[in-house]
Structure 1
């Protein structure tokens, strides 16, 4: 019976359209942003620069998935949207990974706190802001919140890995459609 259920689930997932995968991914992006905003405005946790960049990655993935849901591509279009969505998700994974790495550093190796993101955005070119934020600062190394022993960047990394399923599924399905399998 379990094998039959497994086959049903697999065939159901294979039958999902680009629109359905996109809407599922878009809903998950909405959930990730809702949790981030709840923690910021409901609990009072201020996002550090790396947290903000992780939000940008979620919003970039959401934008790609929204357009894909509206377009409902087939074949090569699924490859394009799946690839673009995956690039956004992989960017988020990279930033979350970097954030976790900063949090794992011993206190004497944590970079000093720099100016705030708003200030840097006002006075520096965008690529310099990006370089400084990704190099990290002391505020990004602080662990303000743990849930089940995992810090927020850890949960965000898990969220990005789950989110990657939608663009990956579109990418694989698009490749199979182009190959004619």
Structure 2
């Protein structure tokens, strides 16, 4: 806190162009911060094909997927807003995976169901994900495929841990 206070005093004297403040990572050691923020180990692409759009398709200049109903309302990745974005749980991979699957499901069923990120955090380890230490969307998709689906957010709520 002393460093932050000193910096902000210097800011008030026009010695810096920004202020500093405590956030959800401020009480972590450098090693703890690195574990949370750098936990994802990139893996080579295992399976799948690269999407090739049709050569002569008419593609609109933009699409608003929210207006079309494909996107769930914004989700809070930090169980406690005071912790900041994602809190101390590097769960963005799970949110991006569920968001992608939710949109695909809506395209097939015309029903928008919010899926459980916590289900992925807790259960997708065998596919190479690391829970709150980070993960990969491709591995999450493989878990959903191997598991035969994913629980809803309502039945398996997010706890950021």
Q: TM-score range by the shorter chain?
A: under 0.3
TM-score by length of 1: 0.22
If asked which structure has higher relative contact order (CA below 8 Å, sep 6+), I would say 1
More helix per residue: 1
TM-score by length of 2: 0.24
